[in-house]
Amino acid sequence: MAFPNSALVYFQFVFAAITPILALGSVLGRVNFKAWIPFTLLWITCVYCVDAFLLWGGGFFAHHGAVDYSGGYVIHLSAGVAGFMAAAVIGPRLQRDREIDAPNNVAMVAVGAGLLWLGWNGFNGGDPYAANMSAAAAVLNTNLCTAVAFLIWVGWDYLTGRKPSLLGGVNGCITGLVAITPAAGYVNGWGAIAMGMIASTIVYFALNYLSRLRPFRLVDDTLGVIYTHGFAGLAGGLLVGIFADPQMALFYKTGPKGLSAGGSVAGLIHGNASLLKWQFLAALWVICWTAGITFLLLKLVGVFVPLRMAEKNMEIGDVAEHGHEVYPSDVPSLGYPAGIPGIPAGAGQAPAPTTA
């Protein structure tokens, strides 16, 4: 059954839109929203589109055999690098915000992770543009890799003496989702399981140990996007160069003519070292191009609009920057100084003492 090109356009627009949103997670708490708007438009044009056409559009890396099934490089690696660069250029959050990293609602974190996991099946399963064997394999591999990555993360928490937590499991979940993204239609089930184990281990140690070293400890990446998206996307892209199974031929919908074979891809364990080489070169390009152009675009936008939120707005938070509070009922308990525009009268003041 054919589908209209408008559906494909929208599908690709969602990919393009979500990438700078992921990068935004690195600079939460201090980025000037008025600067982020023009930056996003420029970034999608100059960074995202270039990477997408080189890897997805039959460009240089695609021509040499590099693959990126659903955006491990184009989306996640580039978002992680862009977010890290933006965090370095814009600077850190307020000290008090960096010291308080507890979630404000663990139940909502669990719900959000579940929705993310569910929605990822649509992204990876929808990429063949047809309800066929490739879509089924991609969905199965997505769930296998993610479930294993979740369990491996929790296991490492036990083995390293940390207390396992829902947040840790969610980090493992996201790592698995990202890692399988470039490989979902190219690896078999065993490959997906192996990728979940390896990628979760890499990101776990990067987040908990590499983050203490330069340059990572010098950059305030609010949500750790460089780890759960950047490192995970890089790991997945390289691992597809190892585990790609030539029997997993990719079939996709081309319109009224039906299905066409996108060809099979063999990785290192199947005797093809060339794929791993081009996966590495493609990753190197994405990292260098994204970092360099992101830096230049930030500096360009900064000439016209301050990149950093005003200090007084950082003290207040969402009310000053966006006109909305996350949890209005919590305002009096947050310790804001009284008399600030946008904050209800009496907020931040100590309650009057009561007498018996």
Give DSSP secondary structure letters for 154-197: HHHHHHTTPPP-HHHHHHHHHHHHHHHTTTTTTS-HHHHHHHHH
Q: For residue range 11-44, list pLDDT tens digits in order.
A: 889 999 999 999 999 998 899 999 999 999 999 9
More confident site: 139 or 2: 139
8-state DSSP, 224: -
Residue 92: exposed, middle, or buried by beta-carbon count in 10 A (0-12, 13-18, 19+)?
Answer: middle
* Per-residue confidence band for 252, with pLDDT thresholds at 50, 70 and 90: low
pTM of the full structure: 0.87
Determine the topology of domain 15-309 in CATH. Ammonium transporter fold (1.10.3430)
Average pLDDT over every residue of 308-324: 72
Average pLDDT over every residue of 113-135: 89
* Residue 251 dihedral angles phi and psi, to the nearest 5°: -110, 140
Q: Is the pLDDT of residue 301 over 90?
A: yes
Q: For residue range 175-228, list pLDDT tens digits in order.
A: 999 999 999 999 999 999 999 999 999 999 999 999 999 999 999 999 999 999
Average pLDDT over every residue of 82-98: 91
**Residue extents of the structural domains in the chain:** 15-309
Determine contact, residues 259/129, Cβ cutoff 8 Å. no
Q: Is the pLDDT of residue 294 over 70?
A: yes
